[in-house]
Amino acid sequence: MGESESRRAPEEIPLEKVNDYAWRIPKYKSGMRVPGMVFANEALLEKMKTDRTLWQCTNVTWLPGIYKHAITLPDGHEGYGFPIGGVAATDYDNGVISPGGVGYDINCGVRLLATTLTEKEIRPKLAPLADTIFRNVPSGLGSRRKDLTISSADLDRLVVEGVPWLIKRGFGWPEDAEHCEEQGCMANADPDKVSSTAKRRGLTQIGTLGSGNHFLEVQKVDKIYNPKTAKAFGITQEGQVTVMIHCGSRGFGHQVCSDYLRVMEHAVQKYKITLPDRELACAPGNSNEARDYFQAMACAVNYAFSNRHAIMHWVRQSFQQVFHEPPEKFGLKLVYDVAHNIAKVETHKIDGGEKKVWVHRKGATRAFPAGHPDIPADYRSEGQPVLIPGSMGTSSWVLVGSQKAMDLTFGSTAHGAGRMMSRSAAKRQYWGGDIKAALEKRGIVVRAASASVLAEEADQAYKNVDVVADVSDKIGIATKVARLVPLAVVKG
């Protein structure tokens, strides 16, 4: 997920303290349809005040048909239109859809695998495994996998059928789709709504990490907080090895967003929508412009699910190549795959009744509670797995969704650490070689496409993900299950 250089908000945003972890932005000026709600502790809130995060949250309250409040989550920071870490729900019939509420990297998300190995068992093979994964999974800006060739017709099928299309072609295991959000295939995808430029960019990038904050980590379970739920998710002991894949829809999704932002800018004029920021360009949910965007966005969602799925397939192959045993021997079962940048049609309780809404989640994880029908059957008694990746070299988290999230945040929680400084600022301050040396001194194997990306993604450029997870837990919008720490990091 990209971010602009931080800029000061053009005005001071008033805040009313609700409790230690919740702050209300009142309807203090004309145009605001609802209040804003910020979920953060004092320290996270102070950081949000240094850029345009709160101003952008306020701007989101102008969207026609918005319900309850515009939400900024603990990892919130400045983005395009919406803050990253932003959630908003608009009425299905009388509300709008805004690409700025999804972002450029459509369905940037995270996939977690659980193995039967322990750190002690994997440590002797860790460096060769990292080398093999780095070789098998292309990473870096413009990366492509030369030996996966799909035709234009194949791409059209893939973006409609998603993960099941790849499974039918021998990528992954039949049960994998059950542990993906949307079963790895979002409905209503229509490749005819995707430009030829987006398709051309997407043809060669399936199964690639890309660059920026995307990563692939071999991790270990550092601490289990909820043994019952952890066991249901396949996390059985501290020291257990896991694999986390964090990436999105690559150039395909970026182009879809770019194409439809232009469409939406015209729609704002056509439908006479008043907005405080052109980056919030939107269209009525029942308009042709919104329907076209939603169908193209669904294609990018399925592209991203498929991208992570192909990477997972090559991770399993990498284990087989290094350990000379079939991957099934080491578990390597998919725990879950969650989307962090997406718009969905959902039903939520609002003002005492059920409302069908467009939920925008931008840098936000769905966090549905136990019993929800959209959760895989084997997890339904516990709740939905919530995956929160950290910054490079720090912890990542498994949480579980809750009813509190349905009440407060339209079933959502944070998606990651959230940046503290821009990439260009990080490159000015840090040197990639120093970052690599510091990680390796801690026993973390590092493989990266370039030194500059290590500087951009330095841990110090991000908020403390442990604090973000703790705030989510304290609020109750997703509660702690397990903390994971890296053993090997593969970066684009």
Q: Any idea which residues carry the catalytic annotation?
A: 415
Scored b (16 or more CB within 10 A) or e, 256-294 reads bbebbbebbeebbeeeebebbbebbbbbbbebebbbbbb
8 A C-beta contact, residue 406 and residue 368: yes
Which residue, among 290, 322, 258, has the nearest Cα to 115 in the 3D structure?
Answer: 322
CB 445 within 8 A of CB 488: yes
How deeply is 370 buried, as exposed, middle or buried, from its count of CB atoms within 10 A (0-12, 13-18, 19+)?
middle
Triad 331, 447, 74: Cα angle to 5° = 75
Q: Please tell me whether residue 113 adopts helix, strand or coil conformation.
A: strand
* Dist. CA 195–CA 201, nearest whole Å: 10
Cα separation, 206 vs 313, whole angstroms? 12
Structure tokens at 119: 């750190």
Q: What is the largest CA-CA distance in the chain?
A: 66
Per-residue tokens: 187: 């409905």
